[in-house]
Every structure is written in C-alpha cells, then in structure tokens.
Structure 1
Amino acid sequence: MRFGLLGTGHWAEHVHAVALDAHPRAELMGVWGRRPEAAAAVAERFGARPYEDVDALLADCDAVAIAVPPDVQAPLAVRAAEAGRPLLLDKPLATTVAGAQQVVAAADRSGVRSVVFFTLRFAATSARWIAEQTMTGGWFTGRADWYSPVFGGADSPYTASPWRREKGALWDVGPHALSVLLPVLGDVVSLADITAARGPGDTVHLALRHTSGASSTLTVSHSAPTAACGVTAELRGNSGIVTLPERDAPPAEAHGRAIDALLSDTPHPCDAGFALRVTEILAAAESQLPR
C-alpha cells in the first residue's frame, strides 16, 4: 500500500517514516508538511516525493499516515477520509470533541478504515500484558502514572512543541494512560463522574469509575524532575497485583504493528471511535481544571 505521510516533525520522521520505510507491505511514496523545505528533507531521506499540496498527495497515495499536532490532524484526516484514504493517525485524535467527531463521521461516511497509534497498544510486550489482564478480569482498582521531564529539564525534541506547551501532559500522555486502563477496566461510567485536579506544573490527577465496577486513578506530568520520572500501570484484584512491564522496543517497531492493523481485514479496537472516546474523557477532565 502506497502511503502518504502528512507531517515532518521528530515523531513523523523518526517513527512514522522509519516504520513505513521498513514495512514489507507498505511504501512511503510522498511527504507533505507545513514547511515545504522540511517535507523535501524528509522525502529525500526516504526516497519519497515531496508535495506542497495536500490534495495532490491524497490523489496519488493509497493511504495516509498523519503525524502533526492534533488540531491540525483532525481536519487533514477529514480531507483524507473524504478522498477515500484509510487513516493511520496519532493520539490524541483532536483536543476538542467536535474535532474528533468530525473525523469519525468522515471515516464512517466514506467507509475507510482507521487505526490510531496508541503506542502501548501496539508494542508487543505491553499489548500482550493488556490482553492478558483483560481476559483475567476481576479487577478491583487500577492506576496509571506517567511522569516525564519534557518540561522539567530534559533534553527532549518535544520540549519546544507549541501544542504540548499549550495542552500539557493531560493531552499528550493522558491518551497513553487511558489506552492501558480502558480495555481492561471498561469505559467510564459517566463523563460527569470524572474528577480532575492540578498538581505542580502541568501535572494532572484523574479519578475514574468504570463500567466493570472498578475505579482507577491517573497521574500525568511533563514537569517532573528527571530523578522522579517513570511510567507505571498497576492493577489490583482477585488475581493479586500486576504491573505493566517496561517498554523494551523502539516506537517505530510498534508503529509497524499499527501498519499491520490498518492493512488487516480485521478491525482494530484502537480506531477513530476509540480515540473519540479518549478525547471525550480528556475534555471532560480539562473542563474541571482551573485556568
């Protein structure tokens, strides 16, 4: 399948493009970016064609991979779906419910497949762990903590990201935390029952109730000191206490499995509809936070 890549940032170049270039059933044929010079550089690295016009790229490709800020992604995804192109998207789908709804509606109207790259759902070790705990069931409570130093002094390619500076860890890594807990514990009972509170910097704490009867807590932050950072998910229930294994593979490898999912005849649970629900939960949480 001939993919067009929309995006030229670090994640687009070092994850999406690398995975597409390495995949045996995909071809990275074209690159578009908001900066034509960046599109030309990424395209040259991977032997693809740079495009200055999105619609020209959509006309030439079979599917799109999108790696741009979420509220740029949503309207581009709508255009791609309306052109009949399957969608390989990034999280969050959008940072407004309306934006995410428009993507889902466009994909439904056109009948195109969609896969949203929630990294932990496609990394082999964590995906297997999530599937095992979903089958086990009987969970009483869960938690997911994502402490990052992106704004806490780390040398990170994402530190200067304008949309991350504006929306914070809630929207950047909150989707990862939810992607681990929701398949195991079930959907939230009600958006009105979500409790959210601010911590230091962009730190946000959430408390949720799930349809399984379990409760969960999430803490996400890009403001943590380097020595205090780490990613943890834990479940407690009839089977005891289990902890999410540490990530042991680069994200481009997980992205290869997301490409597999888009090419498969079997729908994947991480589609635009699931990503819309994640957006609804994060928007409900954000509405409780002081400005």
Structure 2
Amino acid sequence: MRIGLLGTGPWAQMVHAPALGAHDGLDFVGVWGRRPAAAKELADRHSTRAYDDVDALLAEVDAVAVALPPAVQAELAARAARAGCHLLLDKPVAATIDDGRAVVEAARGAGVASVVFFTTRFQSAPEAWITEQAGRDGWFVARAQWLGAVFSGDSPFAASPWRREKGALWDVGPHALSVLLPVLGDVTGVAAAARGPEDTVHAVLNHATGASSTLTLSLTAPPAAAGAAVELRGTAGVRALPAGSEGALPAFARAADALLAAADSGRPHPCDAAFGLRVTEVLASVEESLGTV
C-alpha cells in the first residue's frame, strides 16, 4: 500500500514517519506539512519525498497517515477520503461533531477504510485485556484516570496550541473512552462533570450496560503523579488495565496492520472513523456539561 504522511510535528517525527518507513507492507511515498521546510527535513531523514501540494500527494498514494491538530486533520481527512485514500487517523478525529461527521460521510461515500490510532487499543496486552473484559457481563462501575504532565519539563508537546486550548478532555479523554466503551457499552448520558485544578476534568458517565464510569483527566498533573489507570468492578471482581510495555512505535505499526486488513477485507475495524466520531460526540457532551457548572 502506497501511503503518505500529513504532518511534521513531534508525533509525526517520533512515531508516524519511523513506523511508516519501517513497515514491510507499506511504501512510504512522501510527506506534506503546513511548513514546507519541516516537510523537506522529515522527508530527507526517511529517504522519501516532500510535497508542497497536498493534492499532489493524495493523487499518488492509496492511503494517508495524519499527524495534525484535530481541526486540521478533519478537513484533510475528508479531502483524502474523497480522493480515494484510506485513512490512518490520530485522536481525536475532529474538534467538533460536524467535522467528525464529515470525515465519516466522506469515508463511507468513497468506500475507503479508516483506523483511528488510539494508542492503548493497539498495544497487545491492553488490547487482549479489553477483549477479555468486553466478553464478561455484570460490570457495575469503572474508574479511569489519565494524568499527564505535558506542560511541565521537556515534553515535546508542551508547545502544542491545540492541547493548550482544548486541554485534557480532548487530548487524553479519547484514550480513556477507547478503553471504556468496548467494555461498558455506549455512553447514554453524562451524569456529572466538574473542573479540577488547571485543565483537570472529572466526569461521570452512564453506559448502555447499566454500568457507570468516572473519568479524571489532566495534562497539568505534577510529574510524580502522572500516569494512566483503569479499574473495573463487577460480578467478576476487580480488574485493572495492564500497562502497555511496547511503546508507541510498535502500536502504530499494529494500527497500520489494521488499516491494511480493513482495506483488504472491506470489514470496518472497531476503531474506525465512526468510532472516532462517537468518541468526539461524548467529549462534546462532557464539554457541554462543564459549561453549565
């Protein structure tokens, strides 16, 4: 599969480009970025071509991987789908429900496959755990904590304008939802939402299975307090999400495998753009509830 990369930021440099270049099933055709000099530098580093015109790149590939802010990603993902390109997207799919819906409609209209890279879902131990817990009945409550220290120290994402604007809800909230939704079922309502220190958000969600979950999300936690944890409680007892030990690069390679499989079979992947849209809808509902606090 011929694939292009849209984006040149830290995530593209650290994960997307190295994984695409090393994948046996992919031909890494080229890079487009909003900063042409950065696109050339990244392309040169991986012995591929920099494109000044995004449509020229779309015309020469079968798929695109996107490493751009959500508002930019949504517009270009829909454009790529209409050009017949399969989509390997980042989370969140979009910054608004309407933009997310446009991506889904473009992908469906063009008959292209899509996969959203929720990192935890593509790490082998967490993925197996999620599948196992989704097969159990009787979950009562769950709690998910995703605490980052992005704006402390030397994080490569500290200068990210969209993360500073949208905060933890939109950056790490998708990770928590990507674990909870397949186990507890769809969110049927936001029971409560409240703000904590700095960008910290707390939310209580009701799920289709009758279970409820609580989320604590932050990008501004003290570095010593940072980390992620998910705990389920129900008739099966207490189950905790195992830590992913493989890192982002192998996980992204598995997401690329999933895109290849979906494109070949025509069967949607569980983490497709439609699932990404549902996550966006839940995030927007929590944000709306926060606005009334």
- Shared fold per TM-score greater than 0.5: yes
The aligned counterpart of 1:274 is 275
- Structure-2 separation of matches of 1:238 and 1:87: 39
The aligned counterpart of 1:147 is 147
Q: Deviations over 1:5-56 (max 9, x none)?
A: 0000110121111111111101211100000000001101111100000000
Matching residue's letter, 1:67: A
The aligned counterpart of 2:125 is 125
Q: Is 1:213 paired with 2:210?
A: yes
Matching residue's letter, 1:74: A
Matching residue's letter, 1:143: R
Q: Is 1:28 paired with 2:25?
A: no
The aligned counterpart of 1:254 is 251
Which residue, 214, 222, 225 being the options, matches 2:222? 225
For residue 195 of structure 1, report the CA deviation from its aligned partner. Answer: 2.0
Matching residue's letter, 1:95: A
Matching residue's letter, 1:228: A
Alignment of 1:97-136 (within 5 A): 97-136=97-136
- Structure-1 separation of matches of 2:210 and 2:29: 47
5+ residue gaps in structure 1? Answer: none
The aligned counterpart of 2:198 is 201
| Contact preservation (8 Å) 1:63, 1:86 | yes
- Structure-2 separation of matches of 1:179 and 1:137: 18
For residue 92 of structure 1, report the CA deviation from its aligned partner. Answer: 0.0
**Could you state the TM-score of these two structures normalised by the residue count of structure 2?**
0.96
Matching residue's letter, 2:143: R
Structure 1 outlier segments of 4+, above 4 Å? none
The aligned counterpart of 2:184 is 185
The aligned counterpart of 1:171 is 170
- Structure-2 separation of matches of 1:181 and 1:282: 13
| Contact preservation (8 Å) 1:58, 1:80 | yes
Matching residue's letter, 2:237: G
- % of aligned pairs identical? 60
5+ residue gaps in structure 2? Answer: none
Corresponding residue SS for 1:213: coil
| Contact preservation (8 Å) 1:6, 1:65 | yes
Corresponding residue SS for 1:209: strand
Q: Deviations over 1:103-153 (max 9, x none)?
A: 0011111111100001111111111110111112321111110111112x2
How many residues are treated as equivalent by the alignment? 288
Q: Deviations over 1:52-86 (max 9, x none)?
A: 00000000111100110000000000110000000
Corresponding residue SS for 1:115: strand
For residue 290 of structure 1, report the CA deviation from its aligned partner. Answer: 4.0
The aligned counterpart of 1:289 is 290
Corresponding residue SS for 2:109: helix
| Contact preservation (8 Å) 1:194, 1:284 | no
| Contact preservation (8 Å) 1:205, 1:220 | yes
Corresponding residue SS for 1:207: strand
- Structure-2 separation of matches of 1:157 and 1:258: 22
